[in-house]
Structure 1
């Protein structure tokens, strides 16, 4: 868990609620009424015992420290909820991004030996064998043409149908 922001780090095993509300109030510097208010606003969600007693975890205390920082910066409780939510979502996206970057690096490493086929300036694969009289700079598919002897049809990209009221531009 980073010290300054108090953001949640899933690697830390401190999610178990062990502190009662009075201890959490003392450790956080907030009053008991404030802790109940923050729970009402959804800013913290302490665990509960079978009897209904609140139990705050180290994660909850770090979140309370972050709440204190935001209050000091002049953010109201609704804004604090939004900031905390966005920080949490950002952390999740950063974790996903790191995982995807690692997956991509692994795939690139696995494909490196398989990409020994030559490519032209557009990244189109060319036929590696040289044919008599063949244009070696054109992609193999374009040299072959279609089975009917006509030129191959090229597409610029996805087509879309015209909506109501749209005219065809020529």
Structure 2
């Protein structure tokens, strides 16, 4: 086995790599391409485009879309679901940054 086969391409572990076509993404989520287009229109996810102009989705975007579908299935309006997900994502990022800052502060020697 070659080293390329044992280690694989770097994008295999990249959550932001646009690996999924619209059809495949919709199939994986159990939804329609129209639902994915509506998430793009609501500015929740903006898929990258292939050279031919086709939408391509990353695993991260599919997680957001799955969360949106979950909320919509529970009766939340699409726009509200998108806003909830954006706020959840911002909160998670703020908590991550806060934790990093706390760790850095704990690593520094006390002043005085």
TM range (shorter): 0.7 to 0.9
Cα deviations by residue, 1:66-89 (Å, 9 ceiling, x for unpaired):
112111232111111211111111
Q: Aligned with 2:102: secondary structure?
A: helix
TM-score normalised by length of structure 2: 0.79
1:35 aligns with 2:36: yes
Gapped runs of 5+ residues in structure 1?
1-11, 116-170
C-alpha RMSD over aligned residues: 1.6
Tell me the matched-pair count: 100
Higher RCO, Cα 8 Å, sep 6+: 2
Structure 1 segments (4+ residues) deviating >2 Å:
none
TM-score normalised by length of structure 1: 0.54
1:51 aligns with 2:79: no
**What residue in structure 2 maps to residue 159 of structure 1?**
none
**Given that residues 22 and 55 in structure 2 are in contact (C-alpha distance below 8 angstroms), is that contact kept between their aligned partners in structure 1?**
yes
Gapped runs of 5+ residues in structure 2?
1-12
**What residue in structure 2 maps to residue 98 of structure 1?**
99
Rg comparison, structure with higher value: 1
The Cα of 1:32 is off from its aligned counterpart by: 1.4
**What residue in structure 1 maps to residue 16 of structure 2?**
15
